Amino acid sequence: MLYFVATPIGNMGDITYRAVETLKEADCIYCEDTRHSLPLLNRYGIKKPLYSYHKFNEKEVAEEIVKKLASGENIAVISDAGMPCVSDPGRVLVHALIAAGESYTVVPGASACTSALLLSGADGSKFTFLGFLPAKAGDRKEFLEKYKNLDTALVFYSAPHDVKKDIQTLYSVLGERKAAAVKEITKMFERVEFFNLSEGLKTEPKGEYVLVVEKPERGENDDLTPEQLYNKYLGEGMDKKDAIKRVAKERKIAKSDLYKFTVEK
């Protein structure tokens, strides 16, 4: 059996009893960085063979893990922080396990994404987690265009050297929105900074961030169809041409698609 085990995202005490027992009972443990994981394992007296599993070797190691499972070993997989597969290696391994018919399960725990969402005060009834933005500016904008009209909060991970440009890109594509930058989650110097995308952070970025961007504010006409909105503007005294132009601009649709509303109006 293979176990994907969540590890603390900051505070070393944020690990479940089940996670500790699973790691102690495993025949070996795969992690992103052995140097990073050793302090946690040592704290809980876990002495097991430790192997590296990261994005640069995940295909080869996945094959190695499948062979070990086939021979009857129990294996645990952890990431540097939080849950494997969430902006961390793991997906390739899951697909390899499915293809090989090997059993696997999850030992859940801390999550930077959901913790930051709570701390931000954004509407958590539905949200969209988008991980890290692409490295290239053009790719970042193209990526965000797909999500800018979603009626949900958007959650991103951001490295300290990327925070400023990430926020600038978010503003250029999403427009003005309220946001929060959360860092050092569960640690002594945990911090939440609230800001508008147009303004950016007031403090110099340090450390890894979770950026939470609130969903777009809804206007009074958002629930109206284009035809209903057109009729509303006519009722307010606007002429047909101006009403068509305004609806096309507000709803970002071609004026030619709206001319059918002018028939017998």
Q: What token pair was written down for 110?
A: 């801390």
Task: Label residue 219 by pLDDT band (50, 70, 90).
Answer: low
Q: What is the dihedral of CA 115, 126, 208, 161, to 10 degrees?
A: -170
Work out the average pLDDT over 101-105: 97
| DSSP character string of 52-102 | E--TTTHHHHHHHHHHHHHTT--EEE--SSB-TTSSSS-HHHHHHHHHHT-
Residue 173, pLDDT > 50, answer: yes
Q: How many CB atoms lie within 10 A of CB 54?
A: 15
Among 27-36, 66-75, 86-95, 107-116, which stretch is predicted with the lowest mean pLDDT? 86-95
Cβ atoms of 39 and 110 closer than 8 Å: no
Among 31-35, 165-169, 224-228, which stretch is predicted with the lowest mean pLDDT? 224-228
Tell me, what DSSP letter sits at residue 259? G
Which residue in this structure is represented by tokens 């959901």? 114
Residue 207, pLDDT > 90, answer: no
More confident residue, 225 or 202: 202
Residue 40 to residue 122: CA distance in whole angstroms: 32
The separation between the first and the last C-alpha atoms of the chain, rounded to the nearest angstrom, is 69
pLDDT for the residue 263: 60
Residue 189, pLDDT > 90, answer: yes
Note the pTM of the prediction, 2 decimals: 0.80
pLDDT for the residue 265: 45
β-strand pairing of 209-213 with 153-158: antiparallel
| All structural domains of the chain | 2-107 (3.40.1010.10), 112-213 (3.30.950.10), 226-262 (no CATH)
Q: What is the pLDDT of residues 138-147, one digit of tens each?
A: 899 999 999 9
Which residue in this structure is represented by tokens 């952890």? 78
Residue 109, pLDDT > 60, answer: yes
Residue 54 to residue 68: CA distance in whole angstroms: 18
β-strand pairing of 104-107 with 127-132: unpaired
Task: Calculate what percentage of the chain has a pLDDT beyond 70.
Answer: 96
pLDDT for the residue 220: 66
Residue 43 to residue 40: CA distance in whole angstroms: 5
